[in-house]
Amino acid sequence: MSGEWETVIGLEIHAQLATKSKIFSGSPTAYGAEPNTQADLVDLGYPGVLPVLNAEAVRMAVKFGLAVGAVITRRSVFARKNYFYPDLPKGYQISQYELPIVARGSLDVVMEDGTVKTVGITRAHLEEDAGKSQHEGVGVSAIDLNRAGTPLIEIVSEPDMRSAKEAVAYMKKIHTLVRYLGICDGNMQEGSFRCDANVSIRRKGAEKFGTRAELKNLNSFRFVEKAINLEVMRQIDILESGGTVVQETRLYDSDKDETRSMRSKEEANDYRYFPDPDLLPVVLEERFIETVRGSLPELPDQKAARFQQQYGLSLYDAGVLTASKELAAYFEAVAALVPSDPKLAANWVMGDWSAALNKDGLDVAESRLSAAQLAGLLNRIVDNTISGKIAKEVFEAMWAEGLEADAVIASRGLRQITDTGAIEAEIDAIMAANPKQLADYRAGKDKLFGFFVGQVMKSTGGKANPAMLNDLLKKKLAP
């Protein structure tokens, strides 16, 4: 990317709230039902029906607002956002405009290099989701309104992010947060959590923002990063060849890996918002807000701070381990059983164990090894029964067969050799078998030390205690 341009990104994240029923009707919200079996007269936009607001959706929105330190609007108002599309039979979406339920807040995001980025949250408002349309048929579109009326919270950020990486880190943090709060299942494949990105570029040091393009419906972290980077390149190309960027909505096509124009926003933007006369202002009492505040769980940042203090972890590692409640709980269960070395527990949970889960496409809850089983392995490293290297082999066997560490170590004879005499005997044998290397080493070829380590490890099947082997070898090889 050209050095003199600065990228400016703001995100609008849509999170479906995990209520049992819709935001304004009594239809169920379960995912994957037969088309249109969860759409009642309110969702279908029949004349004469009235929306009635779901108390749980309100409570969840307030929960989110409190978790990002936002101002909770004591009197918020629903508005109609008017546009015609068949996935929204009323001809308008009920949303919030001038007075959203959650006003200004902010979120700290830890980047990979340990720096902390604060992203401003402009607002978060309640609204209803639209239905789904399919366009495969000839001359017709097919509409499923099961999703219509599902409660959403739209979280709008300030244009505070300066790279695709920052945008992804922020989105991941929101994703973590809504799952901690239990207000959204975060399932991106099912569309429960998705995002639009507003992207523009400007000359480094410029005050004024450039013209932005809105990238629609990015439903994976990877796509967000790719789509933003593509869009930045596109805009740089345009500006560097003397053109101007048009304000428009663009769709990211993951198959072709390109963004393309969807429609001119000028016209589509004429939403003619006005307060919805079918709904009265939502007034929140202080007592209600305090009750919700009291119900907040330990939040990711609080947990990460505690992990740093309690287990001596870095800010970044603490962030990784608190990315989900389940992961954090698993780590804590392991760490509790390996009290002398919580860092070892952290490294294994983030390393081999997470990699094994990923490889098999499993959730934390589906882990093939319980926290106690993993801790059992780590304790054999701690007490020097096996080396860290052998532990990886034991881990693989445990993972594949669901075995206990001690059983694998015993059945495969992997117990580390910590008997000085035994190691010395192996060293003597190797020295005797390699007189040339021994002479060369003694003549100053220091690099051959590694050769001897390798030979002894080979002859002991990797079981010689590495630290002891090093010490003994140094002594024995000395001229």
Partner 1 sequence: MSLSPKQIESIAHLARLELKPEEIPVYADSLSRIFGLVGELDRAQTAQVEPMAHPLEQVQRLRADEATSPNQRELYQRNAPQVEGGLYLVPKVIE
Pick from 12, 349, 354: nearest CA to 197 = 12
Residues 86-145, interacting with partner 1 (CB under 8 A): 86, 99, 133-135, 137, 139-145
Burial of 251 (0-12, 13-18, 19+ CB in 10 A): middle
* CA atoms of 377 and 394, how far apart (whole Å): 8
**Are 289 and 66 within 8 A, CB to CB?**
yes
Cβ atoms 8, 200 nearer than 8 A: yes
Interface positions, 270-309, toward partner 1 (CB under 8 A)? 270, 272, 275, 277, 279-283
Among 1, 41, 296, 336, binds partner 1 (CB under 8 A): 41
37 is an interface residue for partner 1 by CB under 8 A: yes
Which residue has 């005997």 as its token pair? Answer: 425
User: How many residues of this chain interact with partner 1, rule: CB under 8 A?
Assistant: 52
**Minimum CB–partner distance for residue 246 and partner 1 (Å):** 16
In whole angstroms, how close is the CB of 327 to partner 1 at the nearest point? 28
Q: How far is the CB of 63 from partner 1 (least distance, A)?
A: 14
396 with 410: CB under 8 angstroms? no
**What is the β-pairing status of strands 5-16 and 274-275?**
unpaired
Nearest Cα neighbor of 16 from 138, 144, 193, 171 is 193
Which 3 state secondary structure label does DSSP give 340? coil
Under rule CB under 8 A, which residues in 327-386 are in contact with partner 1? none
Least distance from partner 1 to the Cβ atom of residue 124, Å: 18
For 250, other C-beta atoms within 10 Å of its C-beta total 23
Coil, strand, or helix at residue 357?
A: helix
Rounded to the nearest angstrom, the gap between the alpha carbon of residue 456 and the centroid of all alpha carbons in its chain is 44
The 401-440 contact track toward partner 1, x by CB under 8 A, reads ----------------------------------------
Nearer to partner 1, 216 or 415 (CB): 216
* Cβ atoms of 386 and 412 closer than 8 Å: no
Q: Tell me if 264 contacts partner 1 by CB under 8 A.
A: no
Binders of partner 1 among 47-66, rule CB under 8 A? 52-58
Residue from 35, 120, 191, 462 binding partner 1 (CB under 8 A): 35
| Cβ nearer to partner 1, comparing 149 with 300 | 149
Q: How far is the CB of 258 from partner 1 (least distance, A)?
A: 16
Site residues, partner 1 (CB under 8 A) = 19-21, 25-29, 34-41, 44, 52-58, 77, 82, 84-86, 99, 133-135, 137, 139-145, 262-263, 270, 272, 275, 277, 279-283
